[in-house]
């Protein structure tokens, strides 16, 4: 985690969903597209705080339009003032509401979307975390005002703690049942517990157990921070390619329906990497030549149902990579805000 030196201002300029100087919370590094209903639906948005469009991947037609919000599982949680509204993202229907205390901001949701997490800075220099469901809410208070939300799964509440001395931040664990803060930060056994600089995007595994965050260094070096939300273990996985920051913003992440392999593909660097989700180790790596690719826009990625192809889009081009043959299958110029495969394997593009 400490091997990369990050440029904060550059990331803020090239990707609207990346917040300069902040950790990768669900509200600033949310994926621009995500699959729903076991791959039969696709949700997409222009940035992490934009409204969400839900499309049916069997027909390619829009199914629902949802307000901005945080997505967990098949649910989207939207905040309007102190009111929270839960939407079923597969149907577009409102399924519940709750009220947050005054001056509490929605910071994220649990991996299944059922619990919303709000943050309120309290008098006396403390931070209050509000865990709200449609059935009620409970509060956890922590000393200091340097806390932010990272993830929630079961009893494990992961927080970001910003460091006042030297900068950087840590991932910390609170047990919800007892409200106890674990004394030591989570970290890769081979790295420091302090994370420096700018995260770029994040993606969760299909079962909500693993959370992957892409980091990009000022020299273009990249890594994925893999967090096991069940065992509360962290690992850092280096990605190939360096020397060009904007080229490294082209990493696209996708996970298959089985949730066994995380694919990271970068047309600008001409690299594709397969990572075993369980062991968090690189198991496949090869080079590709896609040609020109838009710089600084990020890459949308989708894996075919049979796991043999990955489609990539930069807003100007769509490329398909054959994973078994390790080669570019097709490339065409087309405007696409999102890409997705139907259950039968048809590739859709959406603008």
Alpha-helical runs (H) found in the chain: 8-14, 245-248
Give the tokens for residue 252: 């696209």
* DSSP per-residue string spanning 55-114: EETTT--EEEEE-S-EEETTEEEEEETTEEEEEETTT--EEEEEEPPTT-EEEEE-TTSS
- Supply the pLDDT for residue 196: 66
Per-residue pLDDT, 14: 31
Sign of the four-CA dihedral 27, 199, 264, 157 = negative
Phi first, then psi, for residue 127 (nearest 5°) are: -120, 130
CB 173 within 8 A of CB 232: yes
Cα 93 to Cα 90: distance, rounded to the nearest angstrom: 8
* Three-state SS at 43: strand
Residue 322 three-state SS: strand
Q: Which two tokens stand for residue 275?
A: 């990572």
> Would you tell me how many other CB atoms lie within 10 Å of the CB of residue 230?
13
Buried/exposed 304-318: b ≥16 CB within 10 Å, e otherwise: bbebebbbbbbbebb
Per the CB < 8 A criterion, the answer to whether 283 and 261 are in contact is yes
- Domain 8-350 fold is Methylamine Dehydrogenase; Chain H (2.130.10)
Residue 347, pLDDT score:
97
Q: Is the pTM higher than 0.95?
A: no
Find, among 109, 52, 101, 108, the residue nearest to 81 by Cα. 101
pLDDT at 123: 78
Tokens at residue 146, please? Answer: 């340097």
Residue 327: the pLDDT is 97
What is the block-wise mean pLDDT of the chain (351 residues), using blocks of 10 residues?
A: 31 33 69 89 90 96 95 96 97 97 96 97 91 97 94 96 81 96 88 74 90 86 92 92 90 89 96 94 96 90 96 96 97 94 96 88
Domain limits, the chain: 8-350
Residue 263, pLDDT score? 97
Instruction: Tell me how long the chain is.
Output: 351
Spatial strand order of the sheet with 126-133 comes to 105-109, 116-122, 126-133, 136-143
Contact criterion met (CB below 8 Å) for 54 and 36? yes
Report pLDDT for 197.
56
Q: Check if the beta carbon of residue 232 is closer than 8 Å to that of residue 281.
A: no
Q: In which element (H, E) is residue 167 found?
A: none
Distance of CA 175 to the CA centre of its chain: 22
Place of tokens 């069940």: 230
> Would you state the pLDDT for residue 24?
74
pLDDT in the model for residue 30:
73
- Residue 9: the pLDDT is 25
Q: Among 3, 201, 27, 192, which residue's Cα sits nearest to residue 106? A: 27
Torsion angle of alpha carbons 173, 176, 177, 178, nearest 10°? 60
| DSSP three-state, residue 220 | coil
């Amino acid at each position: 985690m400490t091997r990369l030196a990050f440029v904060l201002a550059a990331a803020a300029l090239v990707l609207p969903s990346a917040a300069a100087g902040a950790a990768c919370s669900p509200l600033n590094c949310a994926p621009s597209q995500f699959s729903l209903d076991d791959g039969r639906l696709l949700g997409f948005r222009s940035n992490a705080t934009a409204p969400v469009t839900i499309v049916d991947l069997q027909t390619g037609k829009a199914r629902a339009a949802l307000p901005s919000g945080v997505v967990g599982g098949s649910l989207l949680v939207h905040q309007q003032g102190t009111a929270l509204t839960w939407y079923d993202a597969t149907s577009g229907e409102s399924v519940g509401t709750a009220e947050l205390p005054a001056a509490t901001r929605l910071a994220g949701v649990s991996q299944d979307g059922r619990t919303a997490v709000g943050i309120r800075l309290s008098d006396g220099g403390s931070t209050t975390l509000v865990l709200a469901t449609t059935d009620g809410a409970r509060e956890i208070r922590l000393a200091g005002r340097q806390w932010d939300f990272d993830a929630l799964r079961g009893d494990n509440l992961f927080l970001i703690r910003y460091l006042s001395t030297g900068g950087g931040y840590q991932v910390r664990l609170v047990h919800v049942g007892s409200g106890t803060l674990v004394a030591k930060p989570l970290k890769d056994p081979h790295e420091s517990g302090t994370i420096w600089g700018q995260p770029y995007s994040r993606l969760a595994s299909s079962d909500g157990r693993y959370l992957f965050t892409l980091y990009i260094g000022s020299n273009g070096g990249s890594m994925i921070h893999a967090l096991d939300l069940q065992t509360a273990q962290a690992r850092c996985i280096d990605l190939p390619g360096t020397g060009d920051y904007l080229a490294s913003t082209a990493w696209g992440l996708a996970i298959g329906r089985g949730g066994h392999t995380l694919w990271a593909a970068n047309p600008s660097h001409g690299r594709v990497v397969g990572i075993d989700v369980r062991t968090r180790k690189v198991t496949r790596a090869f080079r590709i030549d896609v040609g020109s690719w838009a710089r600084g826009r990020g890459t949308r990625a989708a894996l075919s149902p049979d796991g043999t192809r990955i489609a990539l889009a930069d807003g100007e081009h769509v490329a398909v990579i054959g994973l078994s043959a390790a080669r570019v299958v097709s490339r065409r110029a087309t405007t696409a805000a999102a890409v997705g495969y139907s259950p039968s394997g048809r590739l859709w593009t959406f603008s």
